[in-house]
Amino acid sequence: MPKILVSRKISDLAEEKLKNEFDVTLNLKDEPIPETELIKIINDYDGMISTGFDKIGENFFSNLNGKLKIIAQVGVGYDNISIKSAEQKKIKVTNTPNVLNEAVAETTILLILAASRRIGEAYNLVRSDNWKNQKPDLTKFMIGNSVTGKTLGIIGMGRIGRIAAKSAKAFGMKIIYYNRNKLSEELEDGAKYYSDLNSMLPDCDFVSIHTPATPDTKHILNASTLSLLPKHAVVINTSRGSTIDDDALLDALENKKIYAAGLDVFNNEPNLDKRYLKLDNCFVLPHIGSATHETRLAMSMMAVDNIHCFFNNKPLISKVI
Ligand code: 8YV
């Protein structure tokens, strides 16, 4: 019976399904396995179910004894895994695309609304019981910017970007996008394409990042690109922290070079740059883009199904390599 390590707690049903077919080591306490510990234990396993929290880099792969055959990641992103090393060691890697598109799109809309309507400040005011001390000034009190009818610029019009665009249209938002390639008319669905990011940014009331973390997308929003946004612009990120240069975004927010930001992801999570916490115009979430019962179950099941397919010589459902 192949041995499978599950590095973090996944949905109960998925754990049960896995146990029916494999010799499974679960992480019931859900304590993160430190990198050195993971490297020590992984050689006992034929397969692993991983998450974005595991460091599966060159070190991990260089210590393998040949037993491990597949890593099934619970997550669409796999920037925590050295794909080059996996390829060299002929280890299959799978991820969980599509099942989280809607949940991440919901989070995108949530951030758009929260950042533009000052929800962080408003919520903190009520929770701290300070509302009663405020003057209900009709033109100043918690006044934000409308979302309806505004232009949303999407960086990376992939599966998640397109669903976020569709949801934003419910607010009458106009969609423009920057992508490596222009999409077919059907996939564009009325969105305007820009082949150059610098040309799109001045036209954005909101800009939302939906690219994977790659060397090409590292700091795609930096001092130079952020300076092209209008002063009322709002930056949204549900992809990966590495797409943003923190110093540049913090400078833009602190000095009101843009209006606000709504961020679900950060560099060096969960130890985000503390300067973000001091800003009224930055609405922050703890990387919960895909965090719904339904989505986490679907992601967990997909990882388990990939493991099942691999050990039963069936085609993988969602192969990275
Ligand atoms: C995961 C994510 O929760 O899918 C992704 O890429 O960022 C999240 O949905 C996280 O990576 C844990 O694996």
Neighbours of 133 (CB within 10 A): 8
pLDDT band at 130 (very low <50, low <70, confident <90, very high): very high
pTM exceeds 0.85, yes or no: yes
Look over the chain and give the mean of its residue pLDDT values, rounded to a whole number: 98
State yes or no: is 240 an active-site residue: yes
pLDDT over threshold 90, residue 318: yes
Pocket probe for ligand 1: among 159, 163, 240, 287, the residue whose CB has the most ligand atoms within 8 Å is: 287
Q: Is the CB of residue 5 less than 8 Å from the CB of residue 60?
A: no
pLDDT band at 136 (very low <50, low <70, confident <90, very high): confident
Residue 78's pLDDT is: 98
Where are the strands (E) in 14-169, listed by range?
Answer: 23-25, 47-51, 70-74, 92-94, 151-155
Per cent of the chain over pLDDT 90 is: 98
Cα of 77 from ligand 1 centre, angstroms:
6
Query: In the structure, which protein residues have their CB atom closer than 6 angstroms to any atom of ligand 1?
Result: 51-52, 74-77, 100, 289-290
Residue 205's pLDDT is: 99
Residues whose CB falls within 8 Å of the CB of residue 96, separated by 6 or more in sequence, listed in order: 73, 74, 75, 76, 298, 299, 302, 303, 318
Report all structural domains of the chain as residue ranges with CATH numbers, in order of start.
Answer: 3-98+293-311 (3.40.50.720), 101-284 (3.40.50.720)
Residue 163's pLDDT is: 98
Q: Find the mean pLDDT for residues 66-82.
A: 98
DSSP secondary structure string, 125-194? HHHTT-GGGS---TTTTT-----TT-EEEEE--SHHHHHHHHHHHTTT-EEEEE-SSPPPHHHHTTPEEE
Cα of 44 from ligand 1 centre, angstroms:
26
